[in-house]
Amino acid sequence: MTHDKGCCGSVCQCFFEYATPKILVIRSKKVGTVNRLIQALIIAYVIGYVCVLKRGYQDTDSVISSVTTKVKGIALTDTPDLGLRVWDVADYVIPPQVPPTPEEEEESSFFVLTNMIITPNQTQSHCPEVPGLNCSWTCTLDADCTPGLKDVRGNGVQTGNCVNYNATVKTCEVLAWCPLESEEVNMTMPPMLADAENFTVLIKNNIRYPKFNFNKRNILPHITRDYLTHCIYNATTDPDCPIFTLKYIVSAAQEDFQTMAMLGGVIGIQIRWDCDLDMPASWCIPRYSFRRLDNKDPENNVAPGYNFRFAKYYKTANDVEVRTLIKGFGIRFDVMVFGEAGKFSIVPMLLNIGAGLALLGVVTVVCDWIVLTFMKKKHQYAEEKYSYVDDFGLLSETAE
């Protein structure tokens, strides 16, 4: 019986093929060495890297955290505007330390006032606009001013009058809180609250790994109330103390506190909880690190630091409302908590080991490629490795 090989001799024949495994033992020191070397590398990767270093035998969970802070400290200032004054936590921590809302807990931050510009005894009245902020505010005639104009960058509503700001400059008069704030920070003087570097902050951090029902806080079990009354955190001598001086935090972020206190900034307090729950719970402890978060680029120093304005209001004996305006500069501290916990579980262990051992199939592919490409007897190996059997003849003999 004859067979038409027109189609089956090309694409159709390849489609209707079945390959059965065939073991070909090649006695070669070169190929054998490559084979064992690759096997050893894969086994070392599975055992050493996946299982030991990356703990591939563990199930993992991400940390859930809450943070509360409490700042303490006293500062003494003597200024022309305020005179001799003592500052306590209610004055320099803004906003006041009240129980945070759930949204504020996510931020876990606090702000400490370090420097300020004070404009006392402001009342609702008429005064000249501050020159220099906007060229349209300077004038020579009343016609240069627009009555009722409310410039978002200005300090009040223009009255339409051009008045003397000083002996040489005229500006448009405005209805506003007068006198207007016009001072700039004097960088040659120390910050007003220079003593803020000695303030301390107690950071209370509670963490939970819900998958493993594991809870802990950074005030460790061996810490007593008496210990908290005198301890100060130091990474070398006192790493378990949860009380930090602001100067230490800023210094650990590679910044100078007095310099940063002039215009303010943002410091990140990072707490990392990486816990191996197969080990004793006492081994799960927080690790602290600190870094500056706001941009400090000497080539792009527009609007540096961190500041905002707030006012304190009161009334005089004549029932006139008066306020003291304060432009406050300070340091915002953001507490950020990271972490991952792992615990032994048979499922991830089998998955990681299985995935690693599956790589052993690469050994056969590499060795076959070497043998069939670079060996002197590659054609002989090819003939021994691949055998072709045509089943058309077998089918014909069965049919007869």
Instruction: Please indicate, yes or no, whether residues 259 and 285 belong to a single structural domain of this protein.
Output: yes
312 shares its domain with 366: no
Are residues 112 and 77 part of one domain?
Answer: yes
Q: Which pLDDT score is estimated for 271?
A: 96
Do 363 and 253 belong together in one domain?
A: no
Q: Is 165 inside any structural domain?
A: no
pTM, rounded to two decimals: 0.77
Whether residue 379 is found in the same domain as residue 390: yes
- The dihedral formed by the CA atoms of 107, 113, 114 and 118, expressed in degrees to the nearest 10: 140
Same domain as 93, residue 36: no
The pLDDT score that the predictor gives to residue 102 is 46
Give domain status of residue 142, yes or no.
no
Is 156 part of any domain?
Answer: no
pLDDT per residue as tens, the chain (400 positions): 444 444 445 566 677 777 777 677 777 788 888 888 888 888 888 888 888 888 888 899 999 999 999 999 998 888 777 778 888 888 888 776 544 544 444 458 899 999 999 899 999 999 999 887 666 688 999 999 999 988 888 889 999 999 999 888 999 999 999 999 877 777 778 899 999 999 999 999 999 999 999 999 999 999 999 999 899 999 999 999 999 999 999 999 999 999 999 999 999 999 999 999 999 999 999 999 999 998 776 666 777 889 989 899 999 888 899 999 999 999 999 999 999 999 999 998 888 888 887 888 888 888 888 888 877 777 777 777 777 666 655 444 444 4
- Do residue 248 and residue 364 come from a single domain? no
Give, in order, the Cα–Cα distances in Å from 70 to each of 97, 110, 111, 124.
7, 9, 11, 37
> H or E stretch including 294?
none
Which residues are within 8 A (CB) of 335 and not within 5 positions of it... i.e. 6 or more apart? Answer: 67, 69, 108, 109, 203, 205, 269, 271
Given a contact cutoff of 8 angstroms between Cβ atoms, the answer to whether 321 and 124 are in contact is yes
At 197, the amino acid letter reads: E
- 257 and 334 assigned to the same domain: yes
Q: How many domains does the chain have?
A: 2
Cβ neighbours for 331, distance < 8 A, ≥ 6 positions apart? 111, 112, 114, 246, 250, 260, 261, 264, 265, 266, 267, 306
* CATH code of the domain in which 124 resides: 2.60.490.10
pLDDT of residue 398: 46
Interacting residues of 14 by C-beta distance below 8 A, sequence separation 6+: none
196, 262: one domain: yes
Of 344, 365, 390, the residue at which a domain comes to its end is 344
Asked whether residue 157 is assigned to any structural domain, the reply reads no
Does residue 217 sit in the same domain as residue 118? yes
The DSSP 8-state label assigned to residue 101 in this structure reads P
Of 308, 325, 344, which marks where a domain is finished? 344
Is 108 part of any domain?
Answer: yes
Shared-domain flag, residues 246 and 287: yes
68 contacts 100 by C-beta, under 8 angstroms:
yes
100-104 — which CB contacts under 8 Å span 24+ positions? 100/68
Are residues 362 and 290 both part of a single domain? no
- Cα distance between residue 356 and residue 371, in whole Å: 25
**pLDDT score recorded for residue 23:** 73
311 within some domain: yes
Single-letter amino acid code for the residue at 399: A
Q: At what angle do helices 29-44 and 361-374 cross, to 10 degrees?
A: 150
Residue 392 lies in a domain: yes
Q: Decide if 9 is inside a domain.
A: no
DSSP state of 119: E
Q: Which domain holds residue 352?
A: 16-57+346-399
Pick from 116, 266, 246: nearest CA to 191: 116
